[in-house]
Structure 1
Amino acid sequence: MGPPGTVTRLHCDAGAAHGYLGQVVGRKLFVLFPPTDTPFLYRIEGETETEQSAIDPLDPCSSSKYPLYNLASPVAFVLHPMEAVIIPQGWWHYAVALDASITVMQNFYHAPTNAKGMVQLVLKSIAGLKLAAGGT
């Protein structure tokens, strides 16, 4: 839920998850980039849960600040109420609410395509819990 202008920064979901987003109220602009664009999206180092980018696809200065960004192939569309989109693993996505909006989002795993990512995410979480508890 959010007011107009609410932004979800450009990122890939954790654990190689697929995601679906369903728009319930309002409209939302999405900009997606295929996994092959990763080298052009200036990944922010040190992010632990998701891969995030320094790029703002709507900032006209992004092309001059980040020259490799000019090689990227964005796909943009507006999601309207009662529409949904599936974002496959590895696809970068950015969203901005054009109206007050409610969006339902869920990550999911599919055995033939990305179950390994879920297992790695769970193992990483368990390792983090052990470290936080002082274990090895």
Structure 2
Amino acid sequence: MHLREIERIEAPTRATFLHEYVRAGKPVVIAGGAKGLPQSAWDFDGLSDLVGDVTVPVYDWGASGPTVDDEFVITKMPFAEAIELTRSVTSTEKQQYAVCQLPLEHIGHLAELYRKPSWLEGLDQIDRPALPFRESSRHALFISFHRGIHWHNGRDAVAQLLTGRKRFVLFDPKDSPYLYPRRLADGPKAWFDETEAVFCSEIPFEQGLDAIDRKKYPLFDRTTPYTTELQAGDCLFIPTHWWHFTTAVDPCVVAVEFWDAPLRRWGYPNGRRSLIMKPYRKYLFRHLAGRKAFTRRQEVMERSR
């Protein structure tokens, strides 16, 4: 297995970023790409001061921490409390709590403060997919030590590291046969739901690449991992359907912007699932919000603290 370092560039023009990376479906690190933007001040203390009193949902994996089965419950607490619990985590097995996929518009006035990097302006309005596969662009916040392997359902993404250091490992969609992806049959209706584990691999990546059992997963050595370590202010472009997982080096905050990718750039074979999942989620899943529990092996509960 040969590891490749993801290309790093500085201060690209919008045209360069669009044509050489987005339309090419090529991951790239934009060094210092978020520096000087309002969100670059969103370190732990800055977020606590700005929106610490806002109640937010937090992932709770229990004392054992996240595993390949990704079983968790949702706990609600003040953001300042969530920040203190998540910033103190020093290893994956000690990660009981994490802030994941938290929309900025649900965190006080953060969405009003957020600004796009200049090289990202307007890209969510270019090359949009057909209407049944179209969703609104989304901005979300993550505070976690480890984020398990997954891929984005027909969406490109730019991760902006606002504080700390974090390692990212990516795999081309073409490596999917060697990543032991979960089968659709593993969760009856669950495979329609973007939060379900069928987006994930059977391989436990919680302890990193070196800890993977090659005898149990012999095909894994045929993959080509793409790796990088982001510093505060760096950004990473993750093309649609590229597998990826992350592990913190230092406690960190990540802001991620998601937008639709046209069907011709969907990473196959993963993209075949999205041909069904995207229309389903847009027109039906939103009307089943009161039935969230049917999508998970372990019922997702909401508890107030």
TM-score (norm 1): 0.79
- Hey, what does 1:10 align to over in structure 2? 149
Preserved contact between residue 167 and residue 246 of structure 2 (Cα < 8 Å):
yes
Consecutive unaligned residues in structure 1, runs of 5 or more: none
Q: Deviations over 1:47-106 (max 9, x none)?
A: 532511122143423322211111111111101110001101110001001111111112
Counterpart of 2:160 in 1: which secondary structure?
strand
Larger gyration radius, structure 1 or structure 2:
2
Consecutive unaligned residues in structure 2, runs of 5 or more: 1-85, 92-144, 267-274, 292-305
- Hey, what does 1:129 align to over in structure 2? 288
Alpha carbon RMSD of aligned pairs, Å? Answer: 2.8
Q: Per chain length, whose mean CA-contact separation is higher, i.e. which structure has more relative contact order (CA < 8 Å, sep 6+)?
A: 1
- Hey, what does 2:251 align to over in structure 1? 100
1:1-136 aligned at under 5 Å gives the runs 2=87, 3-5=89-91, 6-13=145-152, 15-44=153-182, 45-46=186-187, 47=191, 48-49=193-194, 51-55=199-203, 56=205, 57-111=208-262, 113=265, 118-119=278-279, 121-126=281-286, 129=288, 132=291
- Percentage of pairs with the same residue: 26
Distance change (3 Å), C-alpha of 1:119 and 1:99 = same
The separation in 2 between residues aligned to 1:8 and 1:70, in whole angstroms, is 22
Distance change (3 Å), C-alpha of 1:53 and 1:81 = same
TM-score (norm 2): 0.38
Counterpart of 2:221 in 1: which secondary structure?
helix
Following superposition, the deviation at residue 29 of structure 1 comes to: 0.5
Read off the aligned partner of 1:52 and give its amino acid letter. Answer: C
